[in-house]
Amino acid sequence: MMTSELLAAAQVSKAWPFEEARKLLKRYPDGKPGGSPVLFETGYGPSGLPHIGTFQEVLRTTLVRRAFETLTGGAATRLVAFSDDMDGLRKVPDNIPNKGLLAAYIGHPLSRIPDPFGKFESFAHHNNATLREFLDRFGFDYEFVSASDRYNSGGFDVGLKNVLRNFGAIMEIMLPTLREERRRTYSPVLPISPKTHQVLQVPVEVVDAEAGIVRFEDHGETVEHCILGGQAKLQWKVDWAMRWVDLGVDYEMCGKDLTDSVRESGKIARALGGRAPEGMIYELFLDENGEKISKSKGNGLTIDQWLTYGSEESLGFYLFRDPKSAKSLHVGVIPRAVDEYWQFREKMPVQPIEQQLGNPVWHLLRTNGYHGGEGEKLPVTYGLLLNLVGVLGANATREQVWSYLANYVEDANPAVHPALDTLVTCALAYNRDFIAPTLQRRKPEPNEAAALTALDEELAATSEDATAEELQNIVYEIGKDPHYVFEQLRDWFKALYETLLGSSQGPRMGSFIALYGIANTRKLIAEALG
């Protein structure tokens, strides 16, 4: 619900979606002319399947869209997910069946080559359907538009004629950016060969801009050809600019690798009589070694991989944070993202409105794909779950984990705590694939063994009903006792993690003991001392 307090806070909020949205307020201080909806766009290249980059661009754009609606008290907006499916096939992807089927279609528009999966009328139609299914899965509110539909129906004919009318100006923009060899063959327009049906990379001469007629060499023969009605497509940067002008795009973000494209497409948009949209250039993802993620290298992380080991909300949270800073994207970042998401979610009800607008959860809960109460609390952290499952072993089961949760969580039932149940499943998978193979408990040093013995004695005299805080105090006091010679308290906790859990890092020990049980913890100590 819009309130004057919310609107006032949104106008000065430093959260990046609001900063981006305010660019649109400057663009249209009196609203978009004619009362038209402000148009947000995301792009997708259907030469491959949707991936985490596709998701993050739609999510982040949606966050800006919702922020703009907040700033304007509900101004009309649209989000277009655009598929560049008129692009020519450059190479046969590695991750498809029937590779030989596509080998004969190199250079043909993606929407005019067979579907190697045998389900749709073309490879592009298959990938477009996958994209829509992908976006629908997360509840995004969008309109799907494909390049092939726009080109083939004549929807882009006005834009194509505009390009031909301004052919010389576009060449003046583009030629200085190209290598000498590329300049000799470059053309803003890529005609589709009447002979081979391939997208041609050949010089083009404008014959009649209003009729859409151009002249070019087609496999040794000079031909005059109408480029309207799906008989050509535009070069990437020209296509992007034409689309901005033709569709009236007001906002589109992109990755750092397209910085030059944004600049040059913006110049072309102005040459076409329009203007570039507002937008943000975000940093790219890095793998765990700090290298740029590459689909061909396979060093990235897929949506399905993230959702195997973490929640959907944690993915959204991770993508929200610092979009202009390079981010590592590998399985190791998931546990922290899960727990930080829930920390921010729990804070929401007690934060003043100014802080709420800087809380990632405020923004995520206003996109279509996220649900839940703002103040809902996760009764067990994901990190603690992982430690529990790690002790239980690679063969631990969901039922076994819930049996331990019954000692720690009120109404410990998957139906009562569905979010926790999702994370139990994730923790089991994460432990199986990444933790269990690496756990190695070491023998305690003499001073550590003495402290462990003292801890065992204290636990023996402690009720199983002791709270996590009471148990934490017991552990804490032993670590401070000079008799056990710990230079720093953290050395004692590290010893507990390494001797009992087999890891150099671990949870708050009082919480772990309360969850795992005093008797079971004493067994761990006995094993370490044995």
Both 130 and 62 in one domain: the answer is: yes
Decide if 345 is inside a domain: yes
Region at 393 (left for phi over 0; alpha for psi -120 to 50; beta for the rest):
left
Both 106 and 248 in one domain: the answer is: yes
Average pLDDT over residues 302-315: 92
Confidence band for 50, pLDDT divided at 50, 70 and 90: confident
pLDDT greater than 80 at residue 203: yes
Both 160 and 258 in one domain: the answer is: yes
Average pLDDT over residues 207-219: 96
pLDDT digits (tens, 9 = 90+) for 411-468: 999 999 999 999 999 999 999 999 999 889 999 999 999 999 999 999 999 998 899 9
pTM to 2 decimal places = 0.90
Contacts of 194-199 with CB under 8 Å at 24 or more apart are 194/218, 194/223, 194/225, 195/219, 195/221, 196/107, 197/108, 197/112, 198/88, 198/106, 198/107, 198/108, 199/86, 199/87, 199/88, 199/107, 199/108, 199/109, 199/233
Q: Which structural domain, as residue segments, surrounds residue 300?
A: 285-364
Q: Which DSSP category does 409 fall into?
A: S
What pLDDT sits at residue 291? 77
Element (H, E) at 43: strand 38-44
Both 266 and 344 in one domain: the answer is: no
Both 427 and 466 in one domain: the answer is: no
**What are the angstrom distances between the C-alpha of 349 and each of 13, 345, 396?**
18, 8, 36
Decide if 336 is inside a domain: yes
Decide if 224 is inside a domain: no
Decide if 197 is inside a domain: no
Residues 6 or more apart in contact with residue 409 via CB below 8 angstroms: 379, 380, 417, 420
The amino acid at 53? G
pLDDT digits (tens, 9 = 90+) for 347-380: 998 999 999 999 999 999 988 666 555 557 899 9
Decide if 221 is inside a domain: no
Percent of the chain with pLDDT over 90: 74
pLDDT digits (tens, 9 = 90+) for 239-287: 999 999 999 999 999 999 999 999 999 999 999 999 999 999 999 888 7
